[in-house]
Amino acid sequence: MPDIKVTPLGAGQDVGRSCILVSIGGKNIMLDCGMHMGYNDDRRFPDFSYITQNGRLTEFLDCVIISHFHLDHCGALPYMSEMVGYDGPIYMTHPTKAICPILLEDFRKITVDKKGETNFFTSQMIKDCMKKVVPLNLHQTVQVDEELEIKAYYAGHVLGAAMVQIKVGSESVVYTGDYNMTPDRHLGAAWIDKCRPDLLISESTYATTIRDSKRCRERDFLKKVHETVERGGKVLIPVFALGRAQELCILLETFWERMNLKAPIYFSTGLTEKANHYYKLFITWTNQKIRKTFVQRNMFEFKHIKAFDRSYADNPGPMVVFATPGMLHAGQSLLIFKKWAGNEKNMVIMPGYCVQGTVGHKILNGQKKLEMEGRATVIIGTLDVKLQVEYMSFSAHADAKGIMQLIRMAEPRNMLLVHGEAKKMEFLKDKIEQEFSISCYMPANGETTSIVTNPSVPVDISLNLLKREMALGGPLPDAKRPRTMHGTLIMKDNSLRLVSPEQALKELGLSEHQLRFTCRVQLHDPHSDNDTLGRIYTHLKSVLKTYSIQHVPDGTVIVESIVIKVTSSAEEPNLKVILLSWSYQDEELGSFLSTLLKKGLPS
Amino acid sequence: MKLYCLSGHPTLPCNVLKFKSTTIMLDCGLDTTAALYFLPLPLVHSPRLSKLPGWVSKDGAVNLEKKELLDLSTIDVILISNYHCMMALPYITEHTGFTGTVYATEPTLQIGRLLMEELVTFMERVPKAQAATCWKNKEIQRLLPGPLKDAVDVWSWRKCYSVQEVNSALSKVQLVGYSQKELFGAVQVTPLSSGYSLGSSNWIIQSHYEKVSYVSGSSLLTTHPQPMEQSSLKNSDVLILTGLTQIPTANPDGMLGEFCSNLAMTIRAGGNVLVPCYSSGVIYDLLECLYQFMDSANLGSTPFYFISPVANSSLEFSQIFAEWLCQNKQSKVYLPEPPFPHAELIQTNKLKHYPSIHGDFSSEFRQPCVVFTGHPSLRFGDVVHFMELWGKSSLNTIIFTEPDFSYLDALAPYQPLAMKCVYCPIDTRLNFHQVSKLLKDIQPLHVVCPEPYTQPPPAQPHRSDLMLELQPPPMAYRRCSVLGLPFRRRYERIHLLPELARSLVPSEIKAGVSVATVSAVLQSKDNKHVLQPVPKPAPVPPSKKRKRVTEEPPEVLNPKPLLSGAVPLEPFLAMLHKNGITEVKVEETADGHILHLQTEDVLIQLEEDATHIICDNNEPLRTALRDLVLRFLQKL
């Protein structure tokens, strides 16, 4: 029985280092290759030794697909391809291909240059890795090899985020990556057609959340920022350079404009301008409204938002600063946080999900004292957290409602959850199984789920046979009296052809073997031979209502292709011998008739 | 399978393919050469033009190449290959009862929209005092002067469409990407990059066994678009070939060189250069070429002006379609830098764009300069004004780059003209040499093409290299032809349901060839066929069955498989022996053997291709013998 096997190496009942192995129709595919923000040790990357203990991965993987540029989905890519070793194709969309190396380089700098780690991938490795990338366009069917094809759909999570459909023969899997089912200020909503995959692998970050309306969240956010700025406080918004940052920038920009506010807004890294440039060039990946108006007004040219300089952090007075990275685990955002944490007038707004182990996660859980690590993870002191900590979910993930909506769109036969916390997954799994009556799986890392598929078998049918059948049977089978079609399936050189038996004989150079049966039945019937035959004809006519029966003048009765004759000897004219002869093709009827006639004729 | 040819114009095709109960229109180009019969529409009142003698009708007319060969409302799908080939779309989709879908790539849609909007603006901003149509009556047309009386099919000339009609027509477009497999009933359509313009595509129209390639406006030159995808065109049953270069004798690179040198010469002499062109397409390449050329020619300070209602949009749109550009431009976006250097020309104020000559342009423009503006027919658009303005001075030059119109006809109403005229048509589409090489590579079984491609150009009857010579010869069409396309279909795709597939018992007939008999119920819907298992009544065990059989005749007429092979004597005897039949008398005959089973009084005739069992009163024995014989035979 064919099956699809799924093994998460990361993101199984967890968020971070997404990496899922899928085996389908003899092909092995790696979906995403991310890092874990919560760890600084080996656990940071997926455990590739699961695939093979020694050596390179190339011969074990047919392709690698990256869903979007967030590091928890692509952060381990250079490590995997250059340090473990993989030379096959890596697929990602154009925007991901453009932005991914920048974030990887950023990540490398923080890890190597700031934290002083060694044995990490180098800039050159990032470049070499990116050379293996094949760009994907939306909805384009990419033939990885003769059997394996992949197709990308819009996921709406960040610029260039994609869901992918993987297809081998008639079996298919859809992997969502991270996605968002509600359009926002700069991106559209995820969309997929009714592709009925055997398995849908979905993220489940917000498996139990049904988020209140986006408008309320935005109003809340603006109110909090406004209040803090009014009382002279500073607002820190840790973000990733691309993604939510642009969304919040558009939000604040329009608010500042409307309210005529003067407090400065800064964006921390040099990446911003570059980032915004990407948005301008990849405007076809943003939402309808931005695309429509971009010639007149480009939404990514901000008037109020300026570049940040490190020295500004000590400036007096209110300000709003967007700083990277988003989970306060390193870099500029953490530096600013340390500076501002002691003042209760200030505020930090966490607009996205924080994985376990990050400072972001700790303060969201109400931790008021933080141990601070210096270089090489030596603890150098504690930090009192006095500033206000706010959490506002602006992550562009689908909530429970969105996940259910996607299931309705794609109509999968099975469901598998990744990229979420086990407890929340459990809840969503029950809900999915109840509502859609499909199996739902949630394997942990390293655990394999196997899904049995039931593919129909495509076959080439000879047009003659098909046309004959369609003419005889009509387009739809009659439930009461289905017509059975008979054909011969020829299996040769990987081709499957269904032809009529006659054609099969001819094609294979075989001659037909006639199997015939003859049966003599003795019967006492005081009539002439011809009358007896006539009586047989009438009798059969009444019994076999649906068969073609002919009384031929030369002294035979023919039922379908069965020949019946009557003879008698001169000595005993009343003892008739009925001769029945049929071929194997009429075996059932012939057998029936011989038994029937043995019982005699009705008087 | 039929092909209805609604346009005879080789580069502005409009064909309809009926394929597997789907009606597919391939392109709907708009032939605007009829505009040449009209006087230019000036932007400002021109005493000269209005004093010209002759017939003065300013009908913004366009010639729609279609005839009532078939009912347009039955069209299911329209496939657009590039933005030049969709200009007649509103005529097809509006007011004909059309309810189908239009497939096009995103750049084709966006730039096509710009070109349509431009056309509408050109027409609408100079409203005509009167429109005349009565002259189209044949009786009146006959009496008209000059070339007009010889114009053909004037009844098909239509008034230009409106913005509303454009919007409505384009709302029916469904976007597709290259290599996207789009299913429509039993037909799958796939656009492939054709290398001619942004988003331009060739189309594959196929079912499981038939493949039609539609090649329209393709280019193998390295300009800005993504290169042409060729390998997917292989194994076509029929290849419909349209949109070859209109100027087979001109080499685009040579023309580009001539363009630059003429431009430089004029500017150096203090004159202006007028380039009548479309607002998208070759203009991007011209700007890129000039971007490099002007500095090297020491003309870096010469301003370029691009004047069109859609100039800004066209320049902006060209920068956001990275996915549709050639590798070299694509990689720029990763930096991130705009893919076309005209962004830099704009930034450094070397290139300025204006919606029209009115407004800022008149106060800002400096001479000598280079002006790119439309329309290339010189009958409408801002170009009319520049012809009036610059035509009188021999310092100025007009350089024709678009190949769609005869430049002499275009210039006719402006004669006498002092300005220099240079004809540098740049047509990057396939030439005959390239196309014959392409066809050799992809080997279609049959080629269908417009009639002009099957003979040398009328002006150069000796140039047999400027035509298609193929074996078998191409099927030529002209306007209003209906071609039956040659297909030899022998197979169709059918799906065996998994339960049925599992129940099959294959047996090996020869090395590498296995057969299995299939008895199943056929279900056909929307040209899709499925075989499902024969529904139960389950096979009743034989003893029971016989009991039942005596009461009623066998219900289902299940055809038995055909048999093949032979029953060899010795093994068969051994088999009989094993089954307790020991007294067998064997008699040799001409064709085989007769076996007499003496105790049972049964005769079995064994021949190479036949077995005959004669058994009178012992049904269980007969069936037992039958099954023994069947063991030696293959079932088909």
pLDDT tens per residue, range A388-413: 998 887 777 888 899 999 999 999 99
B195 secondary structure, DSSP code? S
**Residue B534 to residue A592, Cβ atoms within 8 A:** no
State whether residue A543 sits within 8 Å of chain B by CB: yes
Query: Residue B440: pLDDT above 80?
Result: yes
Between residues A357 and A335, the one the model is more confident about: A335
Query: Residue A44: pLDDT above 50?
Result: yes
Residues of A designated catalytic: 203
**Residue A97 to residue B334, Cβ atoms within 8 A:** yes
State whether residue B525 sits within 8 Å of chain A by CB: yes
Between residues A423 and A478, the one the model is more confident about: A423
Report helix, strand or coil for B156.
Answer: helix
CA closest to A544 among chain B residues: B553
Question: From the CA of B375, how many Å to the nearest CA of chain A?
Answer: 23
Comparing CB atoms, the residue among B534, B619, B636 nearest residue A504 is B636
The average pLDDT across B605-614 equals 87
Q: How many residues would you count in chain B?
A: 636
State whether residue B564 sits within 8 Å of chain A by CB: yes
**Residue B506: its chain A contacts at CB < 8 A?**
489, 491
Q: How far apart are the first and last CA of chain A?
A: 59
| Lowest-confidence region among A201-205, A414-418, B38-42 | B38-42
pLDDT of residue B399: 97
State whether residue A489 sits within 8 Å of chain B by CB: yes
With a cut of 0.95, is the ipTM above it? no
Comparing CB atoms, the residue among A281, A461, A521 nearest residue B494 is A461
Percent share of chain A, pLDDT over 90? 42
Query: Residue B179: pLDDT above 90?
Result: yes
Distance between CA atoms of residues B619 and B602, nearest Å: 11
pLDDT of residue B59: 41
Q: Token pair for residue A90?
A: 């890596």
The whole-model pTM stands at: 0.84
Please name the residue ranges forming H helices in B159-210: 163-170
Comparing CB atoms, the residue among A484, A490, A587 nearest residue B519 is A484
Rg of chain B taking only CA atoms, in angstroms:
36
**Which tens digits make up the pLDDT trace of B139-149?**
666 666 666 66
| Lowest-confidence region among A159-173, A425-439, B52-66, B486-500 | B52-66
**Residue A490 to residue B321, Cβ atoms within 8 A:** no
Confidence band (pLDDT; 50, 70, 90) for A378?
low
Q: Token pair for residue A156?
A: 């709406």
Query: Are the C-beta atoms of residues A290 and A247 closer than 8 Å to each other?
Result: no
Report helix, strand or coil for A505.
Answer: helix
**Which tens digits make up the pLDDT trace of B551-590?**
566 655 566 778 888 888 888 888 888 888 888 888 888 8
State whether residue B389 sits within 8 Å of chain A by CB: no
State whether residue A120 sits within 8 Å of chain B by CB: no
Query: Residue B436: pLDDT above 60?
Result: yes
pLDDT of residue B631: 85
Please name the residue ranges forming H helices in B202-326: 252-268, 282-296, 311-318
Question: From the CA of B429, how many Å to the nearest CA of chain A?
Answer: 25
The average pLDDT across B499-521 equals 85
pLDDT of residue B132: 61
The average pLDDT across A155-169 equals 94
Please classify residue A161 by burial: count the beta carbons closer than 10 Å to its beta carbon, then call 0-12 exposed, 13-18 middle and 19+ buried: buried
E strand segments, B395-534: 397-400, 420-423, 446-450, 475-477, 482-484, 491-496, 507-510, 513-525, 528-533
Selection from B132-136, B330-334, B544-548, B627-631 with the highest mean pLDDT = B330-334
**Residue B494 to residue A458, Cβ atoms within 8 A:** yes
Question: From the CA of B406, how many Å to the nearest CA of chain A?
Answer: 34
Please classify residue A38 by burial: count the beta carbons closer than 10 Å to its beta carbon, then call 0-12 exposed, 13-18 middle and 19+ buried: buried
**Which tens digits make up the pLDDT trace of A70-82?**
999 999 999 999 9
Report helix, strand or coil for B19.
Answer: strand
CB pairs under 8 A between A and B: 270
Selection from A532-546, B253-267, B519-533 with the highest mean pLDDT = B253-267
Percent share of chain B, pLDDT over 90? 48
CA angle centred on A486, ends A485 and A488, rounded to 5°: 140
Confidence band (pLDDT; 50, 70, 90) for A434?
very high
**Residue B524: its chain A contacts at CB < 8 A?**
470, 475-476
State whether residue B249 sits within 8 Å of chain A by CB: no
Query: Residue A522: pLDDT above 60?
Result: yes
Distance between CA atoms of residues B545 and B628, nearest Å: 20
Interface mutation vs chain A, best among B314, B515, B531, B607, most A CBs within 10 Å: B515
CA closest to B515 among chain A residues: A490
Among A97, A11, A31, A38, smallest CA distance to A325 is for A38
The average pLDDT across A79-94 equals 95
Query: Residue A169: pLDDT above 80?
Result: yes
pLDDT of residue A513: 86
Q: Give the amino acid at A397.
A: H
Distance between CA atoms of residues B201 and A14, nearest Å: 44
Query: Residue A598: pLDDT above 90?
Result: no
Q: Give the amino acid at A515.
A: L
Among A461, A243, A47, smallest CA distance to B527 is for A461
pLDDT of residue A399: 86
Query: Residue B315: pLDDT above 90?
Result: yes
pLDDT of residue B546: 45
Between residues B246 and B487, the one the model is more confident about: B246
Query: Residue B464: pLDDT above 90?
Result: no
Report helix, strand or coil for B241.
Answer: strand
Query: Residue B549: pLDDT above 70?
Result: no
Comparing CB atoms, the residue among A137, A466, A484 nearest residue B559 is A484
**Residue A300: its chain B contacts at CB < 8 A?**
none
Comparing CB atoms, the residue among A139, A282, A466 nearest residue B492 is A466
Query: Are the C-beta atoms of residues B350 and B304 closer than 8 Å to each other?
Result: yes
Comparing CB atoms, the residue among A462, A488, A585 nearest residue B515 is A488
| Lowest-confidence region among B155-164, B467-476, B627-636 | B155-164
Mean pLDDT across chain B, nearest whole number?
86
State whether residue B624 sits within 8 Å of chain A by CB: no
Q: Dihedrals φ, ψ of B600, to 5°?
A: -95, -5
